Amino acid sequence: MNKLGLLIKQLYLQKIKSKSFILLTLLYLAIIAVAVNWSSIKGIFTDDNKYVTIALVDDTKLDLAKQFPSDKEVKFKVVKESKKEVDALVKKEKYDAAVYLTSKDQQLAVELATAKSLDLQVQSKIDALAENAGKVYSVQQLNLSAEQAAKILQTNTVVKQVDLQEKTSNKTAEEKSAGILIAYIMGFLIYLFVTSYLSMITTDIASEKGSRVLEVLMASVKPSTHLFSKLIGVFLTGLTQIAILAVGAYILIQFTAKKSVTDGLQEMLGQLPATYFIYVILFFLLSIILFLLIGALAGSLVSKVEEASQVMMPGVFIMLIGFYVMLSGISNPDSLLIKVFSYIPFTSGMLMTLRLGATDISNVAVWISLAILIATVALLFTISVTFYKRSVLTYSSGGIMQKIKTVLKVTT
């Protein structure tokens, strides 16, 4: 085996056998397990027999009580007492709340009286039922037959989208919703793995440089070989962790998740074409490679491991900006800010993935962003090889710019 292969093997085995790698992977798997089985876990800490009792007072004389059906979370009880009496019972916690239905200007007026805060899910359910009851009330005011009223209330208008520009993808609302969810998952993974492995490669090189191990190693290994070994070794470590998490997530979903969860995931993934996942994987891998190159350069600039956090800060800060810009796109993923950052190679892995899944973007725009990212990786790789030869054995103090100036001054 050549020197490059030996260095990669040694680094890779060292990283995957380390306690930090094992514990972090187990932590991620635990988080995935909790997310997949959250509904079951939540039930352990809540009393399934506990439900909210709502007193329902209907003064409309139209029998709207049937529009407020009870379920396992909320129980509606029709009462005939006066509002004052019911309010007193709510204050005494005989009821958790009271809903009053009255007629006002030929419209339904709904009042929700509480003595203590209701759970948001319960309150949202009451609001939805009240809105539906208001529609029923308005229809009944028109003196329609039961069949006519049912037809109006059950009308479901389907919007068929026709795209007049053939270059766009013409996604449905369901496809865009699925794309947004996948994009945010991938964006979070990019942020998580980039920051983790950026720190790993930077501190690893800084540690070797600070302990003078590199001076001995450079006597038998070229700087470029050492750089390649670090990049490939850490990259393979990251891919190994991703593979473990992917297999673990699949097993957890198949054998522990409820059928409703698995069916929902299958339906969501089925909304997206295969080309979408190919683009996502390409942006994900290229983004990791790009920041690993930045991390390797940062590690070669410092003289000791204590300075690693200082040189890593710009890379982490760039990722943080991209992450927050991605979060801002939840309401409008086709805004100018998202478009601009989707072409910047340091943030395109997050933002172009979002646009690709949540907007009707053309393939040309995706190819342009991908080409810019590939060109940036190639350019930075070329610069890294040249600069790494100069900086890896150069020791200096001061800030980042001062270190760069020192390297250029000493080696030219």
Domain positions in the chain are 3-30+171-411, 52-152
Chain length of the chain: 412
Across residues 204-231, what is the average pLDDT? 73
Q: Which of 73-87, 122-136, 138-152, 303-317 has the lowest mean pLDDT?
A: 138-152
Tens of pLDDT, residue by residue over 387-397, are 777 766 665 66
The pLDDT of residue 384 is: 81
Which string of b and e fits 172-188 if b means at least 16 CB within 10 Å?
Answer: eeebbebbbbbbbebbe
pLDDT recorded at residue 375: 94
* CA 187 – CA 346 distance, rounded (Å): 12
Q: Is the pLDDT of residue 312 over 60?
A: yes
What average pLDDT does the structure give for the chain? 78
Instruction: Give the architecture-level CATH label for domain 52-152.
Output: 3-Layer(aba) Sandwich (3.40)
Closest among 84, 89, 88, 80 to 56, alpha carbons compared: 80
Angle between helices 348-358 and 363-391 (to 10 degrees): 170
Whether pLDDT at 48 is above 70? no
Looking at 53-62, 230-239, 299-308, 310-319, which range is the least confident one? 299-308
This model's pTM is above 0.85: no
Least confident of 24-38, 123-137, 185-199, 395-409: 395-409
- pLDDT attached to residue 212: 64
> If pLDDT is split at 50, 70 and 90, which confidence band does 167 have?
very low
- For CA atoms 51, 55, 60, 61, the dihedral sign is positive
Rounded CA separation 134/136 (Å): 5
* Pairwise CA distance, residues 93 & 87, whole Å: 10
Q: Is the pLDDT of residue 364 over 70?
A: yes
Question: 112-121, 194-203, 383-392, 400-409: which range is least confident on average?
Answer: 400-409
Distance (Å, whole) CA 360 – CA 356: 7
Q: Give me the amino acid identity at 189.
A: L
Token code pair at residue 325: 């810009």
